[in-house]
Chain A
Amino acid sequence: MKSYVPNTESERLEMLNVIGLSSMDELFSDIPDALKLDRDLNIGDGMSEAELRRVFLEYAKKNSSLPIFRGAGAYRHYIPSVIPHLLSRSEFYTAYTPYQPEMSQGMLQSIFEYQTLMCRLTGLDVSNASVYDGATAAAEATLMMRDAKRKAKILLSLGLAPDVRATIKTYAHAAKIEIVEIPLDNTGRTDIEALRENANGFAGAIIANPNFYGNLEDMTLLTNTVHELGGLMTSYVNPISIGLIKRPGDYGADIAVGDAQPLGMPLMFGGPYCGFMCATQKLIRNLPGRIAGQTCDKDGNRVFVLTLQAREQHIRREKASSNICSNQMLCAIMASMYLSVMGPSGMREVANQNLQKAHYLAEGLSQIKGIKLRYENTPFFNEFVIDLDKDVIAVNAALKAKGYVGGLRLNYYGGNDNGMLICATEMNTREEIDGLLAALEEVMR
């Protein structure tokens, strides 16, 4: 059994004696006997490091390590080696939230840099220090729009991922916000007429770009329309796509949210990732969570602090703009490091590689008998939907036997959509893509 308690048995006894006690049990005399556990917890006898390593290797062995063509909200991108190395600085990862600025300038400056980078990436004025993930960022944006407009109705595009919509609905149910879902038209993009028809009394809309099905929306038209109808626009974006496409601020969005996972975070079976939230200056006091700000000390040195704390739960309690306390700080720093090391040319290059590889894959798939691109004339970024002549579950099983993880079956969340959402990133080599195409050719035969 591993123990991380430094004090020896005799030191513990001496300390007990100093405080006038003779046994550990006496420390717990406030706990009624009837409530005391009269046995050891049944979770094993502890393990050495070597044993622990073996146990976790056994778990890991039961997972697939085949090449994947799957995105749907979690993307495999190359993570520069420098990121995990710098992140292992334990001055960062073993610190708490920087409540004491004089000894936390490293973290506070990192947050300030993260906020700046995210503002530059989204084209908006202000950013918070992160929330849990893209879905909770969208849920918080729902509350922000309600508060800013004092109207309890939000439009959600069906182009948002199922998990994101489900999370928003959980939060909206509690907040008594009416959610109206706007369908997609036959090009796989938000139906702008349906949006108009449902806009009466709404506070704003949330629209994903690229959307869950990979399609690029006409965000300029959508944003203008939402504004004409008197609402606020929240744009849910994939940060890598911004290497090539317009930023939310460029088309006038009021809020930009999304998941920063593609910016240097490993897939890790779904988390920890990082939700980003940026907004126009006007909405700064509606933002939830931590915000770092610049000020100076008595000698005039530039200093960073947590600021605008009057929005937050530890000051305002039941009147806070959100209950969030812990966020995803270390993940936000990964995003900062990624954006800093990639720079403007790296962001453009990685986005272009995603675009090109996905289109190469799409072209190959469209040549296979029994496979059709569902939204043939709609522009897409790094994923898209195909329709299959055969049952999608059977197709994925056959692909697995040939050594590939196919796209996500769209009936994953229930329903009977036989489509497949398929993705290629810069990580899928041409050899891998050609291999998948050859395998599918056989499977579809």
Chain B
Amino acid sequence: MRSEYKLIFERSHAGRKGYDLPKLDVPELDSLIPSDMQRTEDLKLPEIAEIDLVRHYTNLSRRNFGVDNGFYPLGSCTMKYNPKINEEMPALFSDLHPLLDGDMAQGALELMLDMDKALCEITGMDKFTLQPAAGAHGEYTGLMIIKAYHEMRQDTARNVIIVPDAAHGTNPASAVMAGFKTREIKSNPDGGVDLDALRAAVGPDVAGLMLTNPSTLGLFETNIKEIANIVHEAGGLLYYDGANLNAIMGIARPGDMGFDVVHLNLHKTFSTPHGGGGPGSGPVGVKKELIPYLPYPVVMSHHNGPAVLDYDRPLSIGKVKNFFGNFGVIVKAYAYILSLGGKGLREASENAVLNANYVFHHLKGIYGVPHDRICMHECVIEPGELLSLGVHTTDIAKALIDRGYHPMTIYFPLIVHEAMMIEPTESESRETLDEFIAAMRDIARVAKENPEALHEAPVNTPVGRPDEVMAARKPIVKYED
């Protein structure tokens, strides 16, 4: 079972070739590049045949696990099924150059405009930019918009972003990238924002509050209106981290809750695959008064005329990346939205919440539960009494791997000791959930009978637990031969 796997460099044979190109059909000239700029030695790249490459990656893929392999309840990551039809749509735009004049790319621009409208309707916002490439990139963009808004009003003392202690790690990191300081506020015993702490934290130096709703505990922020009032009355803006939108599509909208800026993760809520870490897409939506600050160019249409790219945006924060965003990802997400329609999106959210509550209900008696109430699209549990047997969250996660599951998100949110955050999504059937629950029950049983066995897990994988300390102490980050 256990085995090492050769690197592509270890498969190289001098002179082997896996490519072909048409014969050069123009006269070949010498000395086009001055000799001191030329590289004389060959690049040290693998020399392999096409079949070598095919076998290499096909077998590498077999040492990997995706949603298509099995249940992947990674909390806050919304690992829902990625419909196959959506994967095919971007190919229609493969050869489209981003710097064509607008009349030659009208279809692509119209699609972006239609996507903008759909996202506005889903979130209750007034205008989206599709430029940010991922969730954290969207956070950065949204915070720069908040910064530009205060700067335009000469309100330049506002250099603090409030971040709840339950927030995703990207929130404080993005705030610092955007040139803010962060002020952390504690959660109340129900897992929501502590209103008194918030009142004490706001003031003339506060630019805004970043909030995930439902929170990373999988709980809806019932005081959201009050929170919005406190922040707005203090002159700040409210930022919505859309990582958890999958709980509320068609049910409630951040725009109606008082949020001024929203980012979405198309690679979570809107079913585009995560690609083993990317590419994602993190569109940012704003309320009307913030539209002037969006990154340029803005896709728009004057009086239902052709879709155009507007570069003349004097108040814009500027650009946050090349061109207009991860267009291919946007195409897939728009295909998802069109296939499901309004009722379908609501159905997705309802079933995501139902599945999470179903799992939560069954795990309650077996594991610890920091907040025992109806959850939204994900639930958070803890090892509970297993801790006293020396069984930690890591052990439970590794034991799940042996049983054919990708583990949940572990050790997050930070405010729950040894947290396990489970997000089943709407894609899973009842029997999948039942089998998972049985596996969790079995792990708890083994923990009590033979806790040592769990420290050995996983045993059914190509490699065992890696020595991460050694990896960090003496980093080997490339192959040397």
Q: Would you give the 0/1 interface string for B73-112, flagging 1 where the beta carbon is closer than 8 Å to chain A?
A: 0100101111101010110111111111100111110110
* A337 vs B46: C-alpha distance when bound (angstroms): 10
Q: Which of A64-111 contact B (CB under 8 A)?
A: 64-66, 68, 70, 72-74, 76, 78, 80, 82, 85-86, 88-107, 109-110
Please pick, from A170, A218, A396, the residue contacting B319 in the complex, using a CB distance under 8 A: A170
When distances are taken between beta carbons in the complex, the residues of chain B under 8 Å from A350 are: 21
B176 and chain A: residue at smallest CB distance: A318
CB of B19 within 8 A of CB of A346, answer yes
- Contact B252 A45, beta carbon cutoff 8 Å: no
Residues of B within 8 A of A348 (CB): 42-43
Give every chain B residue within 8 A of A290 (Cβ-Cβ). Answer: 277
Residue pair B341, A356 in contact (C-beta under 8 Å)? no
In this complex, the member of B3, B177, B222, B312 whose beta carbon has the largest number of chain A beta carbons within 10 angstroms is B177
Most buried by B among A1, A112, A270: A270
Interface size class of chain B, counting residues whose CB lies under 8 Å from the partner chain: 35 or more
CA distance A60 to B96 in the complex (A): 9
Q: Does B256 contact A (CB under 8 A)?
A: yes
A326 and B343 within 8 A (CB): no
- Say whether A313 contacts B169, CB under 8 Å: yes
Q: Is B242 an interface residue (CB 8 A)?
A: no
Nearest-neighbor residue (CB-CB) of A109 within chain B? B60
Enumerate chain A residues within 8 angstroms of B50, measured Cβ to Cβ.
80, 82, 341
Which of B77, B83, B108, B344 has a CB less than 8 Å from the CB of A1? Answer: B344
A201, CB-defined interface residue at 8 Å: no
Q: Of A33-41, A190-198, A225-233, A366-374, which stretch is located at the interface?
A: A33-41
Whether the Cβ atoms of B93 and A269 lie closer than 8 Å is yes
Cross-chain contact B169 with A430 (CB below 8 angstroms): no
B406 CB within 8 Å of chain A: yes
Contact A343–B341 (Cβ < 8 Å): no
Interface assignment of A444: CB less than 8 Å from any CB of chain B:
no
B335 touching A56 by the CB < 8 A rule? Answer: yes
Dominant SS among interface residues on chain B: loop
Interface residues of A, count at CB 8 A: 208
Given A2-B340, A55-B338, A353-B21: A129 touches B277 (CB 8 Å cut-off): yes
Please measure, in the bound complex, the distance between the C-alpha atom of A309 and the C-alpha atom of B475, giving whole angstroms.
Answer: 11
Contact present for A7 and B67 (CB under 8 Å) = no
Contact of B134 among A49, A126, A325, A345 (CB under 8 A): A325
Asked if A347 is at the interface (CB within 8 A of a chain B CB), the reply is yes
For B139, the closest partner residue in chain A by CB is A323
Q: How far is the CB of B356 from chain A (nearest CB, A)?
A: 9
Cβ-neighbour of A320 out of B82, B169, B335, B462 (below 8 A):
B169
Given the known interface contacts A72-B99, A127-B478, A313-B173, the answer about A345 and B53 at a Cβ–Cβ threshold of 8 Å is: no
Whether A82 and B43, one on each chain, are in contact in the complex, defined by CB atoms closer than 8 angstroms, is no
Number of A-B contacts (CB under 8 A): 668
How far, in Å, is B67 (CB) from chain A's closest CB? 4
B64–A299 touching, CB < 8 Å: no
Residue contact B173 to A60, C-beta cutoff 8 Å: no
Binary flags per residue of A1-29, CB closer than 8 Å to B gives 1, else 0:
11111110001101110110100101111
Measured CB to CB, the nearest residue on chain A to B325 is: A271
Name the distance in Å between A222's Cβ and chain B's nearest Cβ: 12
B17 touches A105 (CB 8 A): no
A295-B93 in contact (CB<8A): no
B96 nearest in chain A by CB position: A269
Please tell me if B304 contacts chain A, counting CB pairs below 8 Å: no
| Closest residue of B by beta carbon distance from A297 | B464
- Chain A, residue nearest B426 (CB): A5
Q: Which of B28-36, B200-208, B230-238 contacts A (4 or more CB under 8 A)?
A: B28-36
Determine if B264 is an interface residue (Cβ-Cβ < 8 Å).
Answer: no
B340 and A412 contacting across the interface, CB-CB below 8 Å = no
Contacts of A125 in B (CB 8 A): 478
Q: Is A296 touching B93 in the complex (CB atoms < 8 A)?
A: no
Q: Given known contacts A102-B463, A298-B465, is B136 in contact with A323 (CB within 8 Å)?
A: yes
Does A390 sit at the interface, judged by CB under 8 A? no
Cβ of B144: which chain A residues have Cβ within 8 Å of it?
170, 174
Alpha-carbon separation in the docked complex, A400 to B101 (Å):
11
**Chain A residues within 8 Å of B22, by CB:** 426, 429
Contact of B466 among A90, A175, A297, A326 (CB under 8 A): A297
Asked if residues B277 and A326 are in contact (CB atoms below 8 Å), the reply is yes
Q: What is the bound-complex CA distance between A36 and B62, given in angstroms?
A: 45
User: Are A318 and B175 in contact, with the CB atoms below 8 A?
Assistant: yes
Query: Is A301 within 8 A of B37, CB to CB?
Result: no
Contact with A along B311-324 (1 / 0, CB 8 A): 11000011111111
A153: CB under 8 A from chain B? no
With A40-B342, A78-B21 given, is the CB distance from A97 to B53 under 8 Å? no
A269: contacting residue among B44, B327, B471, CB under 8 A: B327
| Distance between A359 CB and nearest chain B CB, rounded to angstroms | 6
Contact partner, A307, options B64, B80, B335, B475, Cβ 8 Å: B475
Q: A305-B471, A339-B45, A343-B19 are in contact. Are A313 and B170 (CB under 8 A)?
A: yes
Query: Within 8 Å of chain A (Cβ to Cβ): is B418?
Result: no
B321-A102 in contact (CB<8A)? no
Against A, the Cβ 8 Å flags (1 = close, 0 = not) of B276-312 are: 1111100000000000000100000000000000011
B470 at the interface (CB under 8 A from A): yes
| Interface: A438 (CB within 8 A) | no
Q: B358 to A40, Cβ gap below 8 A?
A: no
Q: Check A101 against B328 for contact (C-beta < 8 Å).
A: no
Interface residues of B in 451-466 (CB under 8 A from A): 458, 461-466
Nearest-CB distance from A392 to chain B (Å)? 11
A41 to B176, CA, bound (A): 36
Contacts of A94 in B (CB 8 A): 66-69, 82, 273-274
What are the nearest 6 A-B pairs in CB distance? A270-B323, A106-B64, A46-B341, A270-B98, A94-B66, A62-B107
A-B contact pairs, 27 of them (CB 8 A): A18-B358, A21-B357, A27-B354, A30-B222, A40-B250, A43-B122, A46-B340, A52-B89, A58-B107, A86-B61, A92-B275, A95-B277, A98-B277, A106-B62, A121-B43, A219-B37, A220-B36, A272-B279, A291-B477, A301-B2, A320-B173, A326-B274, A342-B45, A343-B18, A359-B29, A396-B101, A408-B99
Besides the known contacts A43-B121, A100-B401, 17 further A-B residue pairs in the complex with CB atoms under 8 A apart:
A3-B340, A5-B426, A27-B353, A31-B248, A60-B107, A86-B53, A97-B276, A100-B406, A105-B463, A133-B133, A167-B321, A269-B96, A295-B471, A344-B42, A344-B44, A353-B21, A414-B311
